[in-house]
């Protein structure tokens, strides 16, 4: 694995964002899609893993965790989780969040700041219906972020819920999707001698201002 990553790193170590000027002259979603597609094509481990950071409104304490990006919409990044989890409580009180993608083999990082909202329940239903039955039962069984007495309790609960839904498993109200609407992106490309490229897109009304910042 590490050899594979080293090879990719070598291939891209003089990767120049100027060469991508067509991508970067368009919009940041287009640029994101290009980078994401390459991350998938070049077999980065878990290319859709993303770190979501939230900040608790009262304590001002930041908190980060890995999630899977499930959909890239025209103007939003969608993920799914428990609506009563710690992250959900934090996002309810403070909808400002950040997303961080890191593809080590490409020496690339994308930072996104934005505002989160819940997606339409029908969209959450559609995604939930597409999940394997075991994941659906897991969503019901897990009181995410709450104290759990024992692993056996969790497994037993999943079995009991399976009996309640012998056929189709309905989506629990407490589980669904969120969409992050970005206000700022930063694309970071590792380059030799620490002269890395950093390109920022900042939203101003319906336009994106773009500029470079120092590494």
> Catalytic residue numbers?
194
Listed ranges 2-10, 61-69, 115-123, 153-161: which one lies at the site for ligand FMN (CB under 6 A): 61-69
> Cβ of residue 213: shortest distance to ligand FMN, in angstroms?
29
Listed ranges 10-18, 27-35, 75-83, 125-133: which one lies at the site for ligand FMN (CB under 6 A): 75-83
| Position 140 contacts ligand FMN (CB under 6 A) | no
- Decide if 28 contacts 35 (C-beta within 8 A): no
Q: Which is nearer to ligand FMN, 90 or 197 (CB)?
A: 90
- Decide if 184 contacts 201 (C-beta within 8 A): yes
H helical segments located in the chain: 2-11, 21-24, 28-41, 86-93, 121-130, 133-141, 151-164
| Position 148 contacts ligand FMN (CB under 6 A) | no
- Decide if 102 contacts 186 (C-beta within 8 A): no
Tell me which H or E stretch contains 81.
strand 77-82
| Position 130 contacts ligand FMN (CB under 6 A) | no
> Cβ of residue 70: shortest distance to ligand FMN, in angstroms?
7
Own/partner contacts of 100-104, CB < 8 Å, gap of 24 or more, are: 100/50, 100/51, 100/53, 100/64, 101/36, 101/39, 101/49, 101/50, 101/51, 101/69, 102/51, 103/35, 103/39, 103/44, 103/47, 104/5, 104/9, 104/44
State which of residues 9, 53, 57, 65 lies at the interface with ligand FMN (CB under 6 A): 65
State which of residues 79, 101, 178, 188 lies at the interface with ligand FMN (CB under 6 A): 79
> Cβ of residue 9: shortest distance to ligand FMN, in angstroms?
22
> Cβ of residue 4: shortest distance to ligand FMN, in angstroms?
19
CB atoms within 10 A of CB 84: 16
User: Binding pattern to ligand FMN, positions 20-59, x when CB under 6 A?
Assistant: --------------------------x--x----------
> Cβ of residue 144: shortest distance to ligand FMN, in angstroms?
5
- Per CB under 6 A, which of residues 85..124 are in contact with ligand FMN? 85-87
Task: Name the site residues for ligand FMN (rule: CB under 6 A).
Answer: 46, 49, 63, 65-68, 79-82, 85-87, 144-145
């Amino acid at each position: 694995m590490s050899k594979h990553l080293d090879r990719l790193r070598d291939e891209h170590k003089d990767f120049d964002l100027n060469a991508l000027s067509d991508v970067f002259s368009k919009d940041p979603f287009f640029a994101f899609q290009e980078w994401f597609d390459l991350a998938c094509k070049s077999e980065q481990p878990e290319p859709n893993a993303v770190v979501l950071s939230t900040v608790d409104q009262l304590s001002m304490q930041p908190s980060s965790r890995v999630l899977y990006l499930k959909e890239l919409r025209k103007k939003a990044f969608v993920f799914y989780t428990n609506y009563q989890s710690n992250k959900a409580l934090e996002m309810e009180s403070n909808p400002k969040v950040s997303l961080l993608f890191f593809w080590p083999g490409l020496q690339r990082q994308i930072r996104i700041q934005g505002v989160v909202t819940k997606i339409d329940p029908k969209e959450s239903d559609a995604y939930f219906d597409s999940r394997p039955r075991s994941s659906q039962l897991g969503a019901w069984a897990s009181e995410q972020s709450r104290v759990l007495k024992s692993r056996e309790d969790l497994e037993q609960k999943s079995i009991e819920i399976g009996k309640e839904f012998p056929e189709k498993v309905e989506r629990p109200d407490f589980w669904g999707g969120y969409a992050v609407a970005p206000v700022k992106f930063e694309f970071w490309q590792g380059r030799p001698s620490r002269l890395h490229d950093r390109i920022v897109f900042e939203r101003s009304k319906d336009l994106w201002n773009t500029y470079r910042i120092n590494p």
